[in-house]
């Protein structure tokens, strides 16, 4: 994943990256400056040998600004170890999520921020069986980081 669409490619021309690729891109319905590009189901994307279930790219004004990579939740521990080896420990923003039938469980969230990009790894990304790694430019990641940080560390939130 990082070899083909790594953080160093943020800001690159989307035409150079996606023309002739397996990604299909469509215009965002609410913002004409945004395109959303997705990989086909079961494409062979991996991050340090961990198979992704889907990859989505966000393009603004013809430039790559964000990548979201989804994984099976069962692989999150391996994914977090691979990211920590590559990027360091990151900022732990683990919260407790409330799921169906009054269940509660920890949702591990790690945040890495640099001057050029931010990266978030989340154990449960809106689904109980889906983990994610989302990275993008500082501006593109700001709404996601605000949303994550709106729940204090260790606090309870809905899945």
In this predicted model, what pLDDT tens digit does every residue of 12-45 receive, in sequence order?
998 888 877 788 889 999 999 999 999 887 777 8
Mapped onto helix, strand or coil, the DSSP state of residue 3 is helix
Measured distance CA(25)–CA(14) in Å, rounded: 10
pLDDT bucket at 101, cuts 50 / 70 / 90? low
pLDDT bucket at 47, cuts 50 / 70 / 90? confident
User: Per residue in 49-58, pLDDT tens?
Assistant: 888 888 999 9
Mapped onto helix, strand or coil, the DSSP state of residue 102 is helix
Q: Is 123 exposed, middle or buried (0-12, 13-18, 19+ CB in 10 A)?
A: buried
Mapped onto helix, strand or coil, the DSSP state of residue 32 is coil
What's the domain count of the chain?
A: 1
State the residue range of the domain holding 44.
Answer: 2-158
Q: What is the mean pLDDT of the chain?
A: 88
CA-based radius of gyration for the chain: 16
């Amino acid at each position: 994943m990082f070899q083909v669409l790594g953080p160093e490619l943020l800001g690159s021309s989307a035409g150079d990256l996606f023309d002739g690729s397996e990604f299909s891109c469509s215009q965002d319905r609410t913002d004409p400056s945004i395109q959303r590009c997705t990989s086909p189901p079961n494409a062979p994307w991996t991050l340090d040998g961990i198979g992704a279930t889907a990859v989505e790219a966000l393009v603004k004004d013809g430039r790559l600004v964000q990548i979201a990579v989804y994984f099976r939740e069962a692989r999150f521990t391996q994914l977090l170890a691979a990211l920590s080896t590559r990027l360091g420990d990151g900022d732990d923003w683990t919260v407790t999520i409330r799921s169906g039938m009054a269940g509660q469980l920890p949702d591990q969230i790690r945040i890495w921020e640099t001057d050029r990009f931010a990266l978030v790894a989340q154990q449960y990304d809106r689904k109980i069986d889906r983990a994610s790694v989302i990275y993008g430019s500082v501006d593109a990641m700001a709404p996601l980081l605000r949303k994550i940080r709106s729940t204090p560390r260790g606090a309870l939130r809905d899945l």
